[in-house]
Amino acid sequence: MSGMTLSPRHDDAWLVIPLFDEATVIEQVVRGAREVFPHVVCVDDASRDGSAARAEEAGAVVVRHPFNLGQGAALQTGMRYVLEATDAAYLVTFDADGQHQVQDAAAMVRRAKEEDLAVVFGSRFLDGRTRPGLLKKIVLKAAVWLTNQQTGMRLTDAHNGLRVIRRDAAQTLDLRQNRMAHATEIVLQLGRTGLPWAEHPVHVLYTAYSRKKGQSLINSVNILVDTLLK
């Protein structure tokens, strides 16, 4: 995450952050994001470490799940909150662990506005900034191929959690896959709308913390298995 102040601020976009046991970093993530995106909703998926309180201290709206339901369910809850409680023009799905860059999200929102796009998918494979490691890259690429086969889309990175979704497109989403297969489900449902979309290069930052939290090879294999089972 970059700490620099970026402009202009996107007051018409809400960040939606699924949150589970990220108390170590979530306050920094939210504070950094709010320099550009003043409106942030974190969906606390029954965290056990005080993540919700840290997110609130940083200025986020926090919606709580009483039980752990999974990232797909948290995204659906967050998107429903934004659509029902705000007049936001755009929703930005954003990870809680510090892997996503605020400047990438801002550039994606600008592109959506300038090109009249309903969806902008972040892709870590459109430039050379992201270095996931060879084995992880192979597994992620396999998941991309499977997702494209299932959805008819032609994406380069189907399981990147950084996305910009215009309000009309978000209103069509009804996610039922609670685990990692929700990423394929999002692509499938957005693709069916026929609305204009594009991919945008982003930098996914793999840190010691994020790897320890589960952004490892085994997590990539889990993504692949969930995609196969969808």
Q: Which domains does the chain have, with CATH numbers?
A: 13-229 (3.90.550.10)
% of the chain residues with pLDDT over 70:
85
> Mean per-residue pLDDT for 224-229?
55
Least confident of 33-37, 129-133, 172-176, 196-200: 129-133
Q: Of 36, 14, 34, which is closest to residue 167 (Cα–Cα)?
A: 14
**Can you state the angle between helices 182-192 and 134-151, rounded to 10 degrees?**
40
The model's confidence at residue 144, banded by pLDDT at 50, 70 and 90, is confident
Find how far residue 5's CA is from the centre of its chain: 21
The model's confidence at residue 182, banded by pLDDT at 50, 70 and 90, is confident
Q: Of 203, 223, 107, which is closest to residue 159 (Cα–Cα)?
A: 223
The model's confidence at residue 176, banded by pLDDT at 50, 70 and 90, is confident
The model's confidence at residue 79, banded by pLDDT at 50, 70 and 90, is very high
pLDDT tens for residues 83-120?
999 999 999 999 999 999 999 999 999 999 999 999 99
- Please give the residue that has the higher pLDDT: either 230 or 12: 12
> Mean per-residue pLDDT for 54-73?
96
Residue 2, pLDDT score? 44
The average confidence (pLDDT) of the chain is 87
Would the pLDDT of 139 be above 80? Answer: no
The structure tokens 């692509």 sit at: 187
CB atoms within 10 A of CB 25: 19
Would the pLDDT of 213 be above 70? Answer: no
Cβ within 8 Å of residue 91, ≥6 positions away = 13, 14, 16, 79, 82, 83, 164, 165, 167, 170
Edge-first strand order for the sheet with 119-123 is: 61-64, 39-44, 13-19, 90-93, 163-166, 119-123, 197-201
Q: Is 226 exposed, middle or buried (0-12, 13-18, 19+ CB in 10 A)?
A: buried
Q: Which residues of 128-157 are buried (b: 16+ CB within 10 A; e: fewer)?
A: eebebeeebeebbbbbbebbbebbebebeb
Residue 145, pLDDT score? 77
